[in-house]
């Protein structure tokens, strides 16, 4: 993969989680500009990114959105995803961002996701094989 092939935004999600896979498919259906690629937290993108940026940090089992050297975790990642989707989803992201207790709500749902929604065997990924996170990327408009 060259720097030109690297996706602009990488969304790492809990691969076996049926709720998470459903959310990824929902985002894919609305991401007409194809901003995102998707990879499980259990896959090579997550391993590469964690080794580069967080080798000593114990990551929570939450969605991670990566853009260049920046990242958002959990409820903050959800907000950023909404901002990149077409109207009206940026408004929903804004409303979610100001929702009191949104991080607690996210964590509560995350704690019960397997019980309520189950697990899947196959892992969905749309990202090409990872390379160095430090490679220069072309800027997009």
The domain ranges of the chain are 9-117
Residue 45: pLDDT band (50, 70, 90) is confident
> Which contacts (CB < 8 Å, 24+ apart) does range 80-89 have?
81/11, 81/27, 81/36, 84/9, 84/31, 84/33, 84/35, 84/36, 85/27, 85/30, 85/31, 86/30, 86/32, 86/33, 89/30
Residue 141 has pLDDT above 50, yes or no: no
Mean pLDDT, the chain, rounded, equals 82
pTM for the structure as a whole: 0.80
Residue 46 has pLDDT above 90, yes or no: no
The C-alpha atoms of residue 119 and residue 116 are separated, in whole angstroms, by 10
């Amino acid at each position: 993969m060259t720097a030109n092939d690297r996706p602009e935004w990488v969304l790492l999600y809990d691969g076996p989680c049926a709720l998470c896979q459903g959310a990824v498919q929902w985002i894919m259906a609305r991401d007409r500009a194809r901003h995102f690629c998707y990879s499980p937290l259990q896959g090579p993108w997550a391993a590469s990114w964690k080794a580069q940026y967080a080798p000593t940090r114990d990551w929570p089992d939450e969605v991670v959105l990566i853009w260049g050297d920046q990242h958002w975790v959990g409820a903050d990642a959800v907000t950023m995803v909404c901002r990149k989707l077409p109207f009206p989803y940026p408004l929903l992201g804004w409303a979610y961002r100001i929702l009191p207790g949104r991080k607690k709500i996210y964590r509560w749902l995350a704690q019960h996701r397997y019980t309520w929604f189950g697990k899947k065997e196959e892992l969905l990924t749309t990202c090409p094989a990872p390379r160095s996170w430090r490679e220069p990327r072309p800027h997009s408009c």
